[in-house]
Amino acid sequence: MNEPKTIDQIDDQAALRLMLDIQLRAVSAVGDALGSIAKAAQALARALSNGHRLIYVGAGSSGLIAIQDGAELPGTFGIDPQRIVFLTAGGIDAVHNLIGGVEDDTETAKREIEALGPLAGDIVIALSASGSTPYTVAAAKAAKASGAVIIGIANKAPSPLLEMADIAIAALSGPEAVEGSTRMAAGTAQKCVLGLLSTLANTRLGHVYQGLMVNVRADNAKLKLRAEAIVARVAGVNPIDAKPSLAACEQDVKAAILLASGAASVDAARSLIALEKGQLKNALQRLKS
């Protein structure tokens, strides 16, 4: 029986098709973990709503994927950057030069966790394609001992990371196009899991309304225009009229929506948001009642 040909043994289009099929299979595998992802999103939403931290832990490609997910949260959903922590093997300043040996450094992992102080109530999202990366597993164990809730994401099961995690997410992405590299199938699955998890958590926190990112941090020209469009659409006003509301609310989109919808003042708008714990839908209903 002939062995299947690998990407270096076939023409360009066939190689690309094979790699694409592997990516699609990896994303499809995430579907089997939706229940665990939902549970993780609920835990993350609770932690963030109570002022706790989100700590990402990973090594190599997994660390890079974690940084990408977390780095997008402040701008997209308005999460305070000071509440997001990244621990990567070798340090975040060295992500441009991924040295494999640092993945085995368990002592540094423990020290980095200890340096964060008590972790009770915090969430740790730990990623490892194999589920056995020494740095990642050691950091997760130390964080758990310090009181953190551990969300473990791995592409192999059973594995040490999934076995010790409070919430285990197994994204069984299967063989890679390049054996031994996890930057494609496993990486694609991890990216998908993190995107689903963090987006659902922020949705439950009220940072998404009618499919719009109503907690966006509008800190550049493009996002200021987007914020104006969001306020206009939700409040049912002209975009030109949305701009003064945003200015009065210092670019706080939720408050600006309430102000444009009839709130008596900026303070009244902000009080409604606080009263409803950030849930714009409930604040609008209270305003109109």
State the catalytic residues.
Answer: 72, 103
Residues 6 or more apart in contact with residue 109 via CB below 8 angstroms = 57, 87, 89, 134, 135, 136, 138, 139, 142
Helix (H, G, I), strand (E, B) or coil at 265: coil
Cα(35)–Cα(193) distance, rounded to whole angstroms? 12
Cα(124)–Cα(134) distance, rounded to whole angstroms? 16
249 in Cβ contact with 263 (< 8 Å):
no
273, two tokens: 């948001």
Cα(106)–Cα(253) distance, rounded to whole angstroms? 43
Cα(211)–Cα(234) distance, rounded to whole angstroms? 11
96, two tokens: 């441009």
- Distances from the Cα of 108 to the Cαs of 35, 132, 162, 192, 259, in angstroms? 33, 16, 21, 29, 50
